[in-house]
């Protein structure tokens, strides 16, 4: 099921790409059902907090009618940053599955390991590298285009 839900997160990332946003997508799953979707919308919304994870978590909380997302899994195409890891911890998400590692800002094992830090009152199970090549390829395509090496993103 991880691949199925990561493909849904990749669909969200593609929508971000199509909107000229950094292509990161996320979905929140509870009992095998997607209850929240999100994609990066920082530029279009002019909001620094509009990361894919934050948008998916907000939608999931509205759907659940509760800020606590116990028993949920977050699928995200790029390893969460520290801000998003904090939101994941605060909402008590049980598991995080991500695609591409982020050695510059990752907070789920690459640069930091906030989600599994034993000093924290809540910890998550983490699964990495699910469809990592596909997730990384979309990011690479976006940034190459931004640097003018591959034309404008389509």
Catalytic center residues = 53
31: left (phi over 0), alpha (psi -120 to 50) or beta: left
Q: What is the DSSP letter of 66?
A: S
Cα gap 24→56, rounded to integer Å: 11
Cα gap 7→3, rounded to integer Å: 6
Sheet-wide strand order for 25-30: 33-39, 25-30, 73-78, 95-100, 125-127
Residue corresponding to tokens 């509009």: 50
Q: Are 73 and 96 in contact (CB under 8 A)?
A: yes
């Amino acid at each position: 099921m991880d691949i199925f839900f990561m493909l849904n997160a990749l669909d969200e990332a593609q929508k971000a790409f199509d909107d000229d946003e950094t292509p990161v997508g996320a979905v929140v799953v509870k009992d095998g059902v997607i209850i929240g979707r999100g994609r990066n919308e920082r530029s279009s919304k002019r909001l620094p907090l509009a990361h894919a994870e934050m948008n998916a978590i907000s939608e999931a909380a509205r759907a659940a009618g509760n800020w606590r997302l116990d028993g949920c899994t977050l699928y995200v195409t790029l390893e969460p940053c520290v801000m998003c890891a904090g939101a994941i911890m605060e909402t008590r998400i049980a598991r995080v599955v991500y695609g591409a590692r982020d050695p510059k800002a990752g907070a789920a094992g690459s640069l930091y390991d906030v989600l599994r830090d034993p000093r924290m009152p809540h910890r998550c199970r983490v699964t990495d590298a699910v469809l990592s090549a596909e997730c990384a390829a979309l990011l690479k395509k976006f940034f190459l285009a931004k640097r003018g090496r591959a034309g404008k993103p389509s």
